[in-house]
Structure 1
Amino acid sequence: MRTRTLGETGLNLTELSFGAGAIGNLYRPVDRDSAMAAMQAAWDARIRYFDTAPFYGHGLSERRVGDFLRDKDGWVLSSKVGKLLRPVVEADIPDHGFVDPLPFTVDFDYTYNGIMKSYEMSLARLGLNRIDILYVHDLEPRGFDEATYKKHLTDFFGGGHLALTELKSSGAIKAFGLGVNEVQACLNILVQADLDVILLAGRFSLLDRRGAKVLLPLCEQRGVSIVAGGVFNSGILATGPIDGAYFDYAPAPRDICEKVAHIQKHLEAKGHQLPQAALQFPLTSPVIKSVLIGSAKAGSVKANAELMNTSIDPDDFEAVNPYTIG
């Protein structure tokens, strides 16, 4: 598995990385043995970068990732800050899409103290003595009303960013950045703050290029790396435009299915599979350091990793450009 260097941080990320949202029981229950088998499949494929978050399963994902990595060497780990877990009775556990999560609710907190507390709590849940990268989780306009979003931005610029800077300066972490879905959220932060890396979900993919026009050139200019998440755009770039295909967390509309059908046709004419191209396309940009894949099934992890064994000529992506978004 090839690696790419994350700016000046000294971290080397494998070009494929393991996203641990699914093993936090996202949308369906996952038993511990299956979660461990999925991570073992990633490890066997020489994936060494793992990403988790307190939000995933309300702490369940971090516990499982920490248990898996504890006796291993050579890994890079990221988690997230901005969402604190608070214990509640069973009846008050909120529904955030995780099945049978741990008994906590989620409080947004982007302040100095909130970031520090989140970091310390993550270490305790992981049972590890280090986290390499911290992402500020979901600090983006679409998640809040305007007043609340502005307050969270003020909290972050007024203290949260300082907390991350201090953690990095002390050597506690090697890098920090954002974990978001929106390009505008990245631009709103970069106008005032320096970052090492952005985990951007779904906005620089084979289909959705909304991250390419403004954000990627800005990141290259500022020395900010990107980890590409959501490269299947919620599934349609893995399954193709079948009945029931999903795009951007919802059933895919007709125009999206038509675009994907054209993309798939052009790629198959070149002898490439749609999911293979979806995984490899983001890595055509030097700003992208890793492609994050998440699955709770060992077989899916292995299959995705094998799609990286044969490289696609970057010129073969050119034919699909008329059918992309952004």
Structure 2
Amino acid sequence: MKTRRIGKTELAVTEVSFGAAALGGLYRACPREQAMETLDAAWDSGIRYFDVAPWYGLGLAERRVGDFLRDKPEAEWVLSTKVGRLLRPVPTGTVPDYSYVDPLCFDADYDYSYDGIMRSVEFSYARLGLNRIDILYVHDIGGYTHGAARNAVYLKQFLDSGVKALEELKSSGAIKAFGLGVNEAPVCLDVMRNADIDCILMAGRYTLLDRTAVAELLPLCRQKGTSLVVGGVFNSGILATGAVPGSNFDYMPATEDVLARVRGMEAIASKHDVPLAAPALQFPLRDPIVASVLIGTAKASSLNRNMALFAPPLPETIYPEFDNYTLVAPPLGDEAVRV
């Protein structure tokens, strides 16, 4: 599989990467054997970049990804995990419901400080059972997760001290790159205007349907040499399932407006005799600022099905036809506008 470089670093990642949230039991149980079969399928497909986080199954996904990579040739794989949440043990039966089924017995506290980030890295090493982490993402900072008032506190905490921890880890060689792992553009702009970062793992905001990262974030990334890793390309499923009853957009039931837009996109895909999922998967990689498209699943069959949709490349002429159905970037602080 082809690779692309992360920012201005020497680190290269495969154009398709694997996101391990589902291996932590997101929304449904994922037995260990099933998790390992899925990781095997990813490796066999040529994927060599794996992304995980302490949040995924409250440590469970890190353990599984670490176990999988431990026996793989070290020079071949790239691993990212995340900071910003510290796990602490809780009694059996008292784990809060964070939509993970059968997670480990932990709860999570937000901490974007220097000490919090350094502790998080040490805890991740222990869960992974590995001696190397290549990329660290600051996880879920921003108003999308915390609300504006609370996020102002966390953003100050990160800019005042947390970013120093990441800079020290990179300068020491402990990591090769760092950035943000978020679902929104505004916090990326806030951070990038105050600090240099190598990459952003952006979920759901640079997709065939949702282009809210295009107006301001992508130009700033080009200016600063910051790479994007694009997750959530199906926008919580609707670009894979189509506008069917019960389909979700942005983790919520799709509105009638979104359903209508996706029906229009489905008609275009049908005219070209391709499933809508194919242009959804291929769309982000058209931009050289995108280093990788992250796909996540807990089923080997689903992973293999999605990988098949990357080939052959679709003609460039298909993409402008989708533009009239997209959601585009609003002024900061407003909701997405429809065109």
Give the alignment's TM-score, normalised by structure 1.
0.98
The RMSD of aligned alpha carbons is 0.9
Aligned to 2:172: 170
| Matching residue of 2:62 | 62
Q: CA deviation at 1:47?
A: 0.4
Q: Deviations over 1:262-306 (max 9, x none)?
A: 111112212322101100001111111100000000000011111
Corresponding residue number in structure 2 for 1:205 = 207
Equivalence map 1:292-307=2 (5 Å): 292-307=294-309
What CA distance in whole angstroms lies between the structure 1 residues aligned with 2:255 and 2:154?
Answer: 33
Aligned to 1:12: 12
**Structure-to-structure mapping, 1:90-169, within 5 angstroms:** 90-169=92-171
Task: Give the counterpart letter for 1:295 in structure 2.
Answer: T
- Within 5 Å, which residues of 2 pair with 1:147-296? 147-296=149-298
Deviation sequence 1:15-41 (CA, Å, 0-9, x none) = 111000000000111100000000100
For 1:72 and 1:9, locate their aligned partners in 2 and report how far apart those are by CA, in whole Å.
Answer: 23
Aligned to 2:21: 21
Classify 1:32/1:153 alpha carbon distance in 2 versus 1 (closer, same or farther; 3 Å): same
The superposition leaves residues 60-96 of structure 1 with CA deviations (integer Å, 9 ceiling, x where unpaired) of 0000000000010200000000000001112431111
Give unpaired runs (5+ residues) of structure 1: none
2:37 is matched with: 37
Q: Confirm or deny: 8 A CA contact 2:142 2:148 kept in the other structure.
A: no
Shift of 1:127: 0.3
Amino acid at match of 1:199: L
Distance in structure 2 (CA, Å) of the matches to 1:294 and 1:201: 11
Structure 2 counterpart SS, 1:27? coil
Aligned equivalents of 1:309, 1:75: Cα separation in 2: 23
Q: 1:207 Cα shift?
A: 0.3
After TM superposition, give the deviation of residue 245 of structure 1 in Å.
0.9
Counterpart position of 2:336: none
SS in 1 for 2:240: helix
Q: Give the structure 2 partner of residue 313 of structure 1.
A: 315
List runs of 5+ in structure 2 lacking aligned partners. 329-339
Q: In 1, distance between residues paired with 2:191 and 2:146?
A: 16
How far did residue 5 of structure 1 move?
A: 1.2
Percent identity between the aligned chains?
54
- Tell me the amino acid that sits aligned with residue 72 of structure 1: K
CA distance in 1, matches of 2:4, 2:257: 35
Specify the SS of the correspondent of 2:281.
helix
SS of match in other structure, 1:92: coil
Runs of 4+ in 1 over 3 A off after TM superposition: none
Between stretches 10-19 and 169-178, larger displacement belongs to 10-19
The offset of 1:315, in angstroms, is 2.0
**Deviation sequence 1:165-204 (CA, Å, 0-9, x none):** 0000000000000000011111111111110000000000
Q: Secondary structure at the match of 1:143?
A: helix
Distance 1:177 1:159 in 2: 15
Q: Distance in 2 between matches of 1:64 and 1:274?
A: 31
